[in-house]
Every structure is written in structure tokens, then in C-alpha cells.
Amino acid sequence: MSRFVYADNAATTPMSESVYKAMQPYLTEFYGNPSSLYRVGREARRAMTEARMKVAKALGAAEPNEIVFTGGGSQADNLAIRGYVKGRSAKGRKHIITSKIEHHAVLYTCEALEKEGYPVTYLNVDSQGRIDLDQLKEVISDQTAIVSIMAANNEIGTIQDLKAISEIAHAHGAVFHTDAVQAVGHMHLDVQAMGIDMLSLSGHKFRGPKGIGALYVRRGIALEPLVYGGGQERGLASGTENVAGMVGLGQAIEDATGENLDRKMGYVKGLTDKLVEGIMKIPYTHYTGDPVNRLPGTASFVFEAIEGEGLILRLDNAGICGSTGSACSTGSLDPSHVLMAIGLPHEIAHGSLRLTLGEQNTPEDVDYLIEKVAEVVAGLRAMSPVWVDGKPDLSAATDLHSHHH
Ligand SMILES: *Cc1c(COP(=O)(O)O)cnc(C)c1O
């Protein structure tokens, strides 16, 4: 009997029963437009207000109206960076600082702004994915508008020192935005204690619905809207509100933070530690990311003499959902920008595997993952032209990747 193990919680998570139940009345009974004055509208507005309070509380925000609901994490990232540099608060400063390992929602926003005349610095990271704070100190100036650095990386799980980054940003009069889409509900965050001025999050990364997210915007920061229209969300994200989504996000963040967070983190970290220990027994395997300061559920590796794509397809046949930063199916021939930024050699970066666990995973899942990954890696190596006499031999093939070119 084959099992089904979902180990791709960094891609998305299954919606929880409690979120589903909380949302239902707002999809059926209370369908009113929150701007309407009659009862089904008023009830929708009340629920929206409550959801906003839950998000504010979970982040340690000073006031609920510092929370702007958006259509997901990507929209929150776009609004933060573009909205800030185009807005009044930037006071004409144009320079943007980010890192080489950001999500594309941040990277491509910065690239687009670069074409519009905003200079961007992409900070380097070390071999474990930690940004270079000395480089940040060197490149920041009184022309820097915003520093945008992710809280935790979606591919390798590395957590950044947010407090240290915000202090450097503030010392130069820049604001600090963090893409915390992977972090919320998976590690402790407090926008006031950590000096975070803007923070992006997304419901579906912590068992809420897809297509709903939020941007925390510290009081006093004036952003230029992303979408113009009816003036919803303080005019920053116009459009009739996704009330059920907001209610679901509120429920999910309440379930994932506060007292529940430590219990969940401890459980998931225990599973992940066991998984890492098991997978690292496979010969010629390298752990990627920071082994200590990492998200509790993220385990990422590279296997020498393996193709990530083949690995994912064979694991799928064994009922396992994982992901790779090396898939050519994503349309690019290169391994992911994150694996390149941590300095992995090209040949090795092609064999990456990311397994991300959640609270719904079990110890039996972990045993099964270890067993099947070892089996699939051995099977693929047996067929690999660069696997000779039980070890990698790069001289055996001119180019491991030649069939793609
Ligand atoms: C998933 C993700 C996003 C995008 O969030 P969506 O809600 O899917 O738009 C942005 N940043 C990071 C780090 C992510 O993991």
C-alpha cells in the first residue's frame, strides 16, 4: 500500500477545518457588500474588522488600521516597495536595497522599478543564505528609501536577523520592509520589537485561504496605491472586499500564532530534525541553508549526480509531494537564483530537493520520506552518466545537463 505524504508546505498548505468553518457563513449567509448599510452588509463589515484585529494582534501592531488586506503575498510585496518609493513618505529618495535571494514578487518589482529609474542594490548572502550586513552598511546612504529583506527564505528556510537590519535601515532614515510570507505562523514576529515598518504575509502559507494576504504598514507611512477604485483598504487596495478570505485569514493567523505557535514549532521541528538526520545518511548529500536559524519545517538538500526534476517525478510516483529549485519545467535552464546566490556549483545545484513539513505531518510520514528519498536517489544514480563506481565522477560526462540545450 502506497502512502500519500504532502511535504511541500512552503508552496502552500491545506486549509484547516477551523478556517473552513469560519469562512462558510461569509460565503453564503452574509454575502453583503461591507460598504452597504443593511444587516448582511453590516455583519460582513463587523467580521472584517474582527479579522483585521486578529492580524494586528498576531503581529504586535499598535493598531488594527495598520493592516491592509491584499489579494495575497505578492500583492503585499508590490504595494510595499512600489507604493513606498512612489509615495510621499520617500521624500524623493530613490535607492532600494534588497537581497539576491528574495521571492520573485520582490525581485521582479525591484527590477521593474530599476527600469523606471530607481537604483537597486541586491545584497549578497553567505553559503547558508544569510545577508551580508557589512555590505548593507556600506551601500546604504541618505538616498536609500527602503530596505526590503525577507524574514525567512522559501527555498532553504534561512531566517535573517531582522532587528539588526532594521537598525541599520533606520540609522540612515530608510524604512524596513520584510517579506514574512514564509515566517508568519512559523516563527515569532513582533513588528514593534523588531523595528519592522512594513511586513507582507499570505493566508495560504499558514493553513488559510489562497488569494488573501495583508501588508502591515506602520502608522504615518504614506504609500501610493497599487489599485485605484472605490477606496477600500484606506484607498491602497481598492475593490469590494474578499470578506470570507479576510475572515479565513484572521482565523488562520489566530490558530497559528500566540500560545499555539511554540507547540506547533516544537512538533514540526522535531519531525524535521529527524528527516534531516535520515536524509543526510544518503552519500554525497549536502544540506542547504542555515542549519540552526531556519524555519522549523524546512529541510532542503542537494544530491550529487541527480536531476531535481526526475527526483520530483519519481517521488510523486511514490505518493510524495516535494519540490526542487532545479526544475527545468519552470522554463529556465538554470538552477534557482537562491541556490546560485549561496554559491552552489552548477553541477551540484541541479539535484536539489526541498521538503517542507507542517503540523499535519506525522512521524510515519517522516519514516516514509526517508525510505523513499533514499530509494529514488539510488535508482536515479544507477542510471546517471556521472555516477561511476558508487561515486560522482564529473569527468564521465561533458555536461550533465546537455540534453536540455
Ligand atoms: C509564497 C510566497 C510569496 C507569494 O505569496 P502569494 O500569496 O502566493 O502571492 C511571496 N514571498 C514568499 C517568501 C513566498 O513564499
CATH of 260-404, one of 3.90.1150.10, 3.40.50.150, 3.40.50.300, 3.30.365.10: 3.90.1150.10
Q: Can you give the pLDDT at residue 2?
A: 77
Pocket perturbation via mutation, ligand 1, pick of 9, 148, 149, 154 by most ligand atoms within 8 A of CB: 154
CATH 3.40.50.1100, domain 17-256, yes or no? no
Where, residue-wise, is CATH 3.40.640.10 in the chain?
Answer: 17-256
Closest CA to 109 of 136, 83, 139, 71: 83
Fill in the amino acid letter for 365.
D
Across the strands, what pairs with 353?
301
76 pocket-lining for ligand 1 (C-beta < 6 Å): no
* Residue 150 falls in which region: left (phi positive, over 0), alpha (psi -120 to 50) or beta: beta
Which pLDDT value is given to residue 403?
A: 42
Q: What's residue 346's pLDDT?
A: 86
- CB of 203 closer than 6 angstroms to any ligand 1 atom: no
Which is the closest atom of ligand 1 to the Cα of 75?
A: 9
Among 223, 250, 198, 192, CA closest to 62: 192
Residues in the chain: 405
For atom 6 of ligand 1, the residue with the nearest CA is 73
CA distance 304 to 391: 9
Res 55: pLDDT: 98
Indicate whether residue 73 lines ligand 1 (CB < 6 A).
yes
Give the number of the atom of ligand 1 that is nearest the alpha carbon of residue 74: 9
Cα(23)–Cα(333) distance, rounded to whole angstroms? 41
What nine digits make up the cell of 44?
460582513
Which among 83, 91, 146, 150 is positioned nearest to 119, based on CA atoms?
Answer: 146
Report how far residue 298's alpha carbon sits from residue 364's, in angstroms, rounded to the nearest whole number: 17
Give residue 1's identity as a one-letter amino acid code.
Answer: M
| Residue 20, burial from CB neighbour count under 10 angstroms (0-12, 13-18, 19+) | middle
Q: Identify whether 328 is a catalytic site residue.
A: yes
Ligand 1 centre to CA of 227 (Å) is 19
245: closest CA among 86, 7, 19, 4?
Answer: 19
Could you tell me if the CB of 103 is within 6 A of ligand 1? yes
**Could you tell me the end-to-end alpha-carbon distance of the chain, in angstroms, rounded to an integer?**
39
Q: Answer whether 182 contacts ligand 1 (Cβ < 6 A).
A: yes
pLDDT value of residue 401 = 47
State the catalytic residue, choosing from 328, 340, 388, 396: 328
Q: What's the whole-model pTM score?
A: 0.96
Give the closest residue (by CA) to ligand 1 atom 3.
Answer: 73
For residue 181, report the distance from its CA to the centre of ligand 1, in Å: 6
pLDDT tens for the 405 residues of the chain, in order: 579 999 999 999 999 999 999 999 999 999 999 999 999 899 999 999 999 999 999 999 999 999 999 999 999 999 999 999 999 999 999 999 999 999 999 999 999 999 999 999 999 999 999 999 999 999 999 999 999 999 999 999 999 999 999 999 999 999 999 999 999 999 999 999 999 999 999 999 999 999 999 999 999 999 999 899 999 999 999 999 999 999 999 999 999 999 999 999 999 999 999 999 999 999 999 999 999 999 999 999 999 999 999 999 999 999 999 999 876 655 566 789 999 999 999 888 999 999 999 999 999 999 999 999 999 999 999 999 999 999 998 776 555 444 443
